A and B are shown apart, each in its own frame.
Chain A
């Protein structure tokens, strides 16, 4: 579903990604873990070209997306993205946050979009907030709306960029529950996260990134219980023995 070949990304002279090769199959839930500065967010953002790629190839459904010929707007409609900072549109009501893209991009009529938005809000447990503005929601609620907003485009893939990192601790659970629910429904997902327990529970595969490359990849059991790479061991010993 997503194929990444020798992906490199530089910010001016700083090499952030130094050659990533990765293949993500349909239905996989891939958790990307690693220390800060390891390039995991950049990797995720390259997948829907929020960062332009310095070198290498990214294929989504066998289509090369980082080519001038690719219609990036069309491709992005297949990939929902959830940000650390939620990025809800503060000038729009919750319901309009969710219906904006499907109606503007003629994916569905206003009526259908509203109906679908209410279904999604029900799914994330926020139906009663439809007519509120984002400013009146808590962080956890905002992130759940952001997930609903991304789902409104019926994406094939969901990308999560540290979805709980900006949340107060007591709100992390409610957001993770929504993501777990989504994982169980068979959605293909790539999740950059610092929540190790969550990664272990929900992921079908874990990628450990450090220094701009994928150091180790395997099932949660392999990575967490029996890491092979020295850097993985070091990282896990730091984050798991807090």
Chain B
């Protein structure tokens, strides 16, 4: 039989009793560190895979093609579990690190396509101008194509970062206590679903809101050269 609780009783049970707020806070830390490491890994992997996809070398092209195909063709929760329970079965690194690697690998597949499209969006004439001045292919890429491509792909990359942060909410599948899992845990312990899940939603929302403001600022700076 449902017992009616006052708001303060609910808040007390969910967040104060047995120091449950600490669970949420440590969950925030876990989500942030998994996301941060995964974003960095994802960009590095994505960039390398994008170069493979754009390369004229058949082997590299095939590797890049298979990578993006498999990553984008399977659910991230399946990838996470495969990496955690199979690939890292014998390697007992800290749970959050394995999760960050899994998400980095996943994100890399998407970032690769974003970067590839960004590089292709730069007019061929830019490369030709660079090469005609005597720059080699790498110098042209680094000094001319990439700076322009980054500006074009920045909004899409931001979107990918945001999706990634929310995606990490599945780490509970391998038993890592992030924000989502903490909320879920409190829900199970207290039999009160509303407060912990609502708190979980608010925390994700605030993290992403703050990130968004920061990214918008950077984007504005990047566009400086377009001001007439």
Spell out A's residues near B (CB within 8 Å). 48, 50, 73-74, 76-77, 79-81, 83, 85, 87-93, 100-101, 104-105, 133, 135-136, 146, 149-150, 153
Contact = CB atoms under 8 A, between A and B. Distances in A.
B148 A91 contact: yes
A154 B13 CA distance: 78
24 contacts: A50-B128, A50-B131, A73-B134, A76-B131, A76-B132, A76-B133, A83-B132, A85-B125, A89-B129, A89-B130, A89-B144, A89-B148, A90-B226, A91-B147, A93-B225, A100-B143, A101-B133, A104-B135, A105-B133, A135-B226, A146-B129, A149-B133, A150-B132, A153-B134
A133 B224 CA distance: 10
Contacts of B126: 87, 89
Interface residues of B, number: 22
A56 B151 CA distance: 41
A92 B136 CA distance: 19
Interface of B: 123, 125-126, 128-136, 139, 143-144, 147-148, 151, 225-228
A85 B132 CA distance: 14
Residue among B130, B133, B143 with most chain A CB within 10 A: B133
A74 B134 CA distance: 6
Main secondary structure on chain B at its contact with chain A? helix
A101 B135 contact: yes
Contacts of A81: 128-129, 132-133
B228 A135 contact: yes
B132 A50 contact: yes
B143 A87 contact: no
A73 B132 contact: no
B182 to A, nearest CB: 44
